[in-house]
Chain A
Amino acid sequence: MNKNKNKISPDELSEDRAVREIMEKMAAGDLKEIETAFDRAQTMKCCPIGSGISGICCKNCAMGPCRVREDRTGLCGATMGTIAARNLARHIAAGASAHSDHGRDLAHLLGLVAEGKAPGFKINDELKLLKLAKNLGISIDDRDTKEIAKETSKKALSLFGQQLGEIDLIKLAPKKRQEVWRKNNVVPRGIDREIVETMHRTHMGVDQDAEHILDHTIRTALSDGWGGSMVATEITDILFRTPQAVPAKTNLGMLDNDKVNLVIHGHEPTLSELIVELSNDEEIIEYAKSKGAQGINIVGICCTANEVLMRQGVSPIGNFLSQEIAMMTGAIELMVVDIQCIMQALGELSKRFHTKLITTSAKCKIPGATHMEFKDNNGIELAREIITMAIDNFKNRKEVFIPNITDDLVAGFSHEYIRYALGGKFRESFRPLNDAIIDGRIQGVVAIVGCNNARVPHDKYHNFLTRELIKRDYLVVLTGCAAISTAKCGLMKPEALKYAGEGLRSICEAVGIPPILHMGSCVDNSRILTVLSEVVSEGGLGEDISDLPVAGIAPEWMSEKALSIGTYFVASGVYTIFSGEPIPVESSQEVKGIITKKWEEKFGGKLEYVSDINEVLNKVIGHIQAKRKALKIDVKKERVLFDMEARRGMENV
């Protein structure tokens, strides 16, 4: 038991009222001795050298770990800049590998579905399949869908092992952007190749020029955003349908006192989709009733939640920092996890409650959890087994405390759906968005993405920035834990337009959207890239993503994936700010100079750490206003009236 426990009040630790209620209950009751990430963050401070604040740590060979400062190199002579660059490169390679490996599994699954070897799964969005096939250079003609799917799977998988040339999907970026990449020699040749090369280059005694290392890091990140992540998003849509607007509810109040609560947690939608589907099965519901429950309640945490929220409207009960808290309600019969952002602490914690923790990915085992491996062909049986196990566990429930806190939201904003929402089936386009930006009703678009971090007040930065930005007519798009954060505080329902400035509000009213748009899980940040490209090609806002009045923020970041996302945003021309905990290169002026000034010169975007959240806000606004000025849309334009002569001079439509 830790002595310092609850020195800091729950109100300061989290903005989520449900989380606070559980914390308060913990402090008062017999769960006092339980530790969560919130507590551990107080008892253990960051390593100042490892976090890059007061030096740099290099442990890439056994002569180290070397604690390097400005006046001291490593044993091999490696400077701070080189070590900082190498460390950052490895983080980003790890982040990119996480997204891309996720994409690989989906590409593999698509092939099995086409061959009829993955029972329970099917092709749900044929149109999107054809689009992806076309983008991968596969001929469509009047070929059988299954054939096309098979080849698409094969081609998508080949992107990972490709050794030379360019990965196909970068062609979806604006022409000018592709040229920027080619000019700087950062076009990814193959997804795995760039990650492996990062590991090689950062091995002891290989690449020791910081800028050179970081250029390759750009290439690695691009292989994530325009490669692995994009493959993941596209194929997830093909298999489980492209998201459309869907109303839902969020927060711990969505746990049900009378039903079997089954939580899906992690990042993959595959098995979870089957679980959601099966939970509506009459027979299963009857079985639950026979065990004294009123039914089955599937809810989610983290990005698995986002995936099934976007497509099925399943409630996300919390984000990353809610995972331990949720278990402490005592109301969860079973938590099934797949990959990424699953705290090991859950294993021990689950023993304190009746909750069963189930790991399902061949890539992820956790001590204290039961491992029931999901293979492509056992989905239906496994889903049934897991649900049955949850139902059978209902009788073991003891004391339950579910905070009565929920909020409404509307999610489902795929780029396809945004186009539809702006013009219907027949006039779908980004034109109204571009016009709104040109007219200043929307000043710019800010993507707020990323994680929770136990060293940052839970959800606080996400919500603060979102509130302040929409108030000033900036449209905010979100993914991942940032999205769940703002949904929990009520900003993601259409009624929240009342918090928006007059201009943004007029768009919300015209279209019926909330002032912030949920675009999916963290792997779906690729959707934001697609939107940006399509906004460029719609016209009127410059010729490249770097011309657009947009910015990205990862205010509560913690995972290496966030660094990869931030870097591919920058490589795509977007100014991206990290806040909360620093990017671990803070003490190297050289590397800071490269990822800000140098990258801005080369790619039109920069990666910056800003600790003060008000400064983040000001910097983002300043940047967007400068872009508006450069586009000459900072002043209101006279309305153009057409006479016959002007009509004749019009470009062909």
Chain B
Amino acid sequence: MSKIIATSAIKGSYKILKRAEKSLKECIKKHGQDQKIEFPNTGYYLPVIYSMTGIKVEKLSDAAGVLEEAKKLLPSVPSGKVWIPYLGGALDAGIATLWAEEIIEAIKYIDGPLPNNGIWLGAATDVILRERGIEFVDGSAPGFAACVGACKENKTAVKVARELQGKNIYVFMSASTDGKSMAEQLVEEGVELGWGTRLVPYGKDITATVYAAGFAARVALSFGGVQPGDFRKMLLYNKDRVFAFVLALGEVDEEKYANAAGAINFGFPTIADTQIPEILPRGVCTYEHVVSNISDDEIVSKAIEIRGLKVTIDKVDVPVAFGPAFEGERVRKENTYVEFGGNKSEAVEFLSMAGSSEVEDGKIEVFGPEVDDVKEVGSALPLGIFVQVYGRKMEEDFEPVMERQIHYFLNYPSGVFHMGQRDIPWLRFSKDAVKSGFKIKHIGTVLHAKMHSQFANIMDKVQIKIYTNPEDVIALKKKAREVFKARDERLGALTDESVDTFYSCTLCQSFAPNHVCAVSPERPGLCGAYNWLDCKASYEINPTGPNQPIKKSETLDENLGVWKGINDFVYKASHQTLESFSAYSMIINPMTSCGCFEVIVTILPSINGVMAVNREYPGMTPSGMKFSTMAGMVGGGIQTPGFIGISKFFIGSKKFIKADGGLKRLAWMPKELKEEIRDLLEARAKEMGIEDFLDKVATEEEAETEEEVLEWIQKVNHPVLKMEPMI
């Protein structure tokens, strides 16, 4: 009966609030109420509190204010007889619990024990949020499982984790049962934890459970365009779009119930492996709220069903676990059985279309030594991967699109690591993978299966030749390089003017419902993951999918980059929220952003120029805002004149804020970004006839404030000084 749940949750929330009060009191006593309090590297403060109340907890005194509000949310414990309705009160108590837990965890960053210590990771930075958030957007991660407590046995923990990984679901771990946490169980079994493997150990304390809620809150703020303080929208966004749930593993104590009540507010149900009361009617969650006594074998599939989620996974016949969850798995040198490329040996991967008679579907050949022939464990072999595809709808333009997928596909098998592309790939097979029976030929198995599942519409047959002897690899490399060169030239010749069709990208509408990208040859998608060719291929693959051709039709403004056809499409696809946008301006109707942008460009008014900051950069920028703060303003499909979210490569495009003066406006960017795209920018500067331009762009080493940027540009005589006013 759910009265027991409500009673326990309310009691648990009293306990956690008491803890928070005590801990805050001691902290204030020690450091004074003006002591700074924060989670590391985030622009979202204490994110559950910030998203729900709009309150920026920056000092202990702010936290004290929030705690007072939290206390007001606590209802009385339901009476034994003639009780008054308890569901609403228990849900409120759940929220109060989360607020208190954020305060408890944040105080740990001041007085310790540090939440990030040992195997524990503590709060996720905004860099992680943005990297991982994209996976929630594009569907490679449908949601997360907040695993609270521990399984009955270590091997059950491994099984549950692997099953969730196999379904691409993030595993967030916190709290303990009988002194043990699921994360510790996994470590004991030698499972690699971390954001890369989607097995995220937040903390052993029950209060660390709040990091999962904080992650969800930040997803809504950064991708959903939810404004801080709009608690209802934030929670409903999560209910509708973030497919998360709580797995209550082992005994559920009062504090765990309190967290479950908090999670229900987000639409995240609780599924327990023990016999606890249930709440089956739906309404706050999409389906059941609490379901109990589910066996270890069923718990993952049951949880997915209760959350209302459908996960489709490809079956790939390899002897190791397989899926995007293993993408981030590292294979350390000491764990390496054999490696390929990466300056240790010759390596190349090349995909090319061929005639029907030349391609025998599913044919996988290995020319040269197999893993069994490796004499010395840890040594390198040469590797040439030659993928030949035939399809009635196949086009040469799709070759690079498909080829680039090799990188992702070959990271999916557990124990295989892949980096780079074209003639600079680097692969490692782990000892465990080889021990499980993974062979070089399985590269072919993976590529064959994944190419078919991803590109079924444009491709009918695929065969893979794998070379592991030096001569064949060198020969393949030579042949491939000629094609690579020709491809680059063709891509270089593609301009916005040379085509009559752009492509839309509404991939992110699952998260940012009003956002639509218009991808042109010279303006790739703002996430950097989709260029014009990718979109074209994607359309062929799935004609009703998120990438649709848009006829430019009549040019309304050549300078700003405004076309009638594009406007019409954007108006419709943005659900009538955007009437017009210009491709080449950040001032007049700039393109909107979902939240996945690699870089934000914003005006520095006193400089008459702009700055660019990449999402990896955690520091303060001359605009007076960190990336995260700006991201909140730019994301969610809203036009924000003076701000645009773009891909890194777009900075080097001829069309980069062309109408506003182009690359010459750029006055500041982080050093890391500058170095990453240096070649591209230098080439573009050369084209513009200002070869020393890049040296005139300040980085954090030269300037940290707008004033310092001004001093700098005057010192180096930046071209922006001679330009017309931007606005």
User: Closest residue of chain A to B261, judged by CB?
Assistant: A424
Which residue of the partner chain, among A432, A639, A650, contacts B305 with CB atoms under 8 Å? A639
**Which of B77-85, B528-536, B559-567 has 4 or more CB atoms under 8 Å from chain A?**
B77-85
| Contact B282–A439 (Cβ < 8 Å) | yes
Contact A653 B281, CB 8 Å, known A512-B84, A639-B287: no
Whether the Cβ atoms of B88 and A441 lie closer than 8 Å is: no
Closest partner residue, chain B, to A249 (CB atom): B82
Known contacts: A424-B95, A439-B281. The answer to whether A644 contacts B88 by CB under 8 A is: no
Within the complex, what minimum Cβ distance (angstroms) separates B102 from chain A? 15
Chain B residues in the interface with A (C-beta under 8 A) = 1-3, 6, 52, 73, 78-79, 81-92, 94-95, 138-139, 142, 231-233, 235-237, 240-241, 243, 265, 279-284, 287, 289, 305, 308-312, 506-507, 509-510, 513-514, 546, 575
> Smallest Cβ distance from B323 to chain A, in angstroms?
15
Contact B280 A510 (CB under 8 A): yes
* CB-CB under 8 A for A421 and B88, given A510-B2, A644-B139, A650-B240: yes
Task: Decide if A493 touches B82 in the complex (CB within 8 Å).
Answer: yes
Contact of B309 among A432, A441, A507, A641 (CB under 8 A): A641
Look across to chain B and name the residue whose beta carbon is closest to the beta carbon of A653. B236
In angstroms, Cα B237 to Cα A650, docked, is 11
Given contacts A424-B91, A427-B232, contact A642 B310 (CB under 8 A): yes
For A506, give its contact among B81, B233, B280 (CB under 8 Å).
B280
**Contacting residues, chain B, for A412 (C-beta < 8 A):** 84
The distance from the CB of A439 to the nearest CB of chain B, in whole angstroms, is 7
Check if B510 sits within 8 Å of A644, measured CB to CB: yes
**B281 lies within 8 A of A425 (CB):** no
Question: How far apart are B60's CB and chain A's nearest CB, in angstroms?
Answer: 25
What 1/0 mask marks residues of chain A from 408 to 436 whose CB sits below 8 Å from any chain B CB?
Answer: 11101000000011111111110111111
Counting chain B CB atoms within 10 Å of each CB, the highest count among A408, A425, A439, A646 belongs to A425
Residue of chain A at shortest CB distance from B289? A510
Contacts of A435 in B (CB 8 A): 281-283
Bound complex: CA A278 to CA B86 (Å): 31
Known: A422-B284, A426-B95, A494-B84. 4 other contacts (CB 8 A): A421-B87, A495-B82, A510-B2, A641-B309
Leading 6 A-B pairs by shortest Cβ distance? A432-B283, A424-B91, A644-B139, A647-B510, A641-B310, A512-B85
Which residues of chain B are near A433, meaning CB under 8 Å? Answer: 283
What CA separation (Å) do A396 and B259 show in the bound complex?
A: 60
Q: Which of A424, A439, A650 contacts B241 (CB 8 A)?
A: A650
Closest Cβ of chain B to A350, distance in Å, is 34
A643-B311, A650-B241 known; A432-B284 Cβ under 8 A: yes
- Complex: A380 Cα to B535 Cα, angstroms: 76
State how many residues of chain A have any CB contact under 8 Å with chain B: 48
Tell me the smallest distance from the CB of B281 to a CB of chain A, in Å: 5
Contact of B308 among A408, A424, A640 (CB under 8 A): A640
* Bound: A399/B3 CA distance, A: 45
Are the C-beta atoms of B2 and A426 separated by less than 8 Å? Answer: no
Instruction: Give CA–CA (A412, B52) in the complex, Å.
Output: 28
Among the listed B84, B289, B575, which residue makes an inter-chain contact with A246, where contact means beta carbons less than 8 Å apart? B84
Q: Which residues of B contact A115 (CB under 8 A)?
A: none
Binding site for B on A (CB under 8 A): 245-247, 408-410, 412, 420-429, 431-436, 439, 441, 493-495, 506-507, 509-513, 639-644, 646-648, 650-653
| Contact A507–B281 (Cβ < 8 Å) | yes
Q: Is the CB of B308 within 8 A of A641?
A: yes
Chain B residues within an 8 Å CB radius of A247: 79, 82-84
- Residue among A429, A436, A509 with most chain B CB within 10 A: A509
Contacts A639-B308, A650-B240; A424 near B510 (Cβ below 8 A): no
| Chain B residue at minimal CB-CB distance from A511 | B87
Asked if residues A512 and B86 are in contact (CB atoms below 8 Å), the reply is yes
* Interchain CB contact under 8 A, A425 and B2: no
| Residue contact A653 to B233, C-beta cutoff 8 Å | yes
Taking a contact as CB atoms under 8 Å apart, the answer to whether B82 and A410 are in contact is: yes
Given the interface pairs A493-B82, A642-B243, the reply to whether A512 lies near B510 with Cβ below 8 Å is no
Establish whether residues B308 and A427, one from each chain, have CB atoms under 8 Å apart when the complex forms. no
Do B78 and A512 touch across chains, with their CB atoms under 8 A apart? yes
Identity of the chain A residue whose Cβ is nearest the Cβ of B231 in the assembled complex: A426
Q: Chain A residues near B2 (CB, 8 Å)?
A: 509-510, 512
Q: How far is the CB of B90 from chain A (nearest CB, A)?
A: 7
Q: Which residues of B contact A429 (CB under 8 A)?
A: 283
Which residues of chain A are within 8 angstroms of B289 by Cβ–Cβ distance?
510
Between-chain CB contacts (< 8 Å), 25 pairs: A421-B85, A422-B88, A422-B283, A424-B94, A425-B91, A426-B91, A426-B235, A427-B235, A431-B283, A435-B281, A439-B282, A494-B82, A506-B281, A509-B1, A513-B85, A639-B287, A639-B308, A640-B308, A644-B138, A648-B509, A648-B510, A650-B513, A652-B513, A652-B514, A653-B236
Q: Is the CB of B506 within 8 A of A648?
A: yes
Chain B residues with Cβ under 8 A from A408's Cβ?
A: 81-82
Please report the C-alpha to C-alpha distance between residue A421 and residue B575 in the assembled complex, in whole angstroms.
34
Q: How far is the CA of A429 from the CA of B91 in the complex (A)?
A: 13
**Whose C-beta in chain A lies nearest to the C-beta of B91?**
A424
* With A512-B3, A512-B85, A650-B513 as contacts: A427 and B310 at CB distance below 8 Å: no
Question: Hey, which chain A residues are within 8 Å of B233, CB to CB?
Answer: 653
- A426-B52, A509-B2 are contacts. A410–B240 as well, Cβ < 8 Å? no
Chain B residues near A245 (CB-CB < 8 A): 84-85
Within 8 Å by CB of B284, from A409, A423, A650, lies A423
Q: A643, B281: Cβ atoms under 8 Å? A: no
Out of A424, A439, A647, which one reaches B89, CB within 8 Å? A424
A642-B243, A643-B312 in contact; A495/B81 too (CB < 8 A)? Answer: yes
Distance in angstroms between the alpha carbons of A248 and B85 in the assembled complex: 14
Contact across chains for B513 and A653 when beta carbons are under 8 A apart: yes
- A436: contacting residue among B84, B139, B281, CB under 8 A: B281
- Bound form: Cα–Cα A652–B289 in Å: 23
Chain A residue with the shortest CB-CB distance to B137: A644
B-side contacts of A651, CB under 8 Å: 513
On chain A, the residues within 8 Å of B3 by CB distance are 509, 512
Cβ of A427: which chain B residues have Cβ within 8 Å of it?
91, 232, 235-236, 265, 284
C-alpha gap A643/B284 in the complex (Å): 20
Residue of B nearest to A438 (CB): B282
Q: Return the chain B residue nearest A507 by Cβ.
A: B281
Whether A423 lies near B281 (C-beta < 8 A) is: no
**Chain B positions within 8 Å of A643 at CB level:** 139, 142, 309-312
Write out the residue numbers on chain A whose beta carbons fall within 8 Å of the beta carbon of B282.
Answer: 432, 435, 439
Write the nearest CB–CB distance from B266 to chain A, whole angstroms: 9
Q: Are B280 and A512 neighbours in the complex by a CB distance under 8 Å?
A: no
Give min CB distance, B47 to chain A, whole Å: 15
| Chain B residues, Cβ within 8 Å of A420 | 88
Cα(A428)–Cα(B232), bound, Å: 9
A415 to chain B, nearest CB (A): 14
Q: Contact: B309 with A653, CB < 8 Å?
A: no
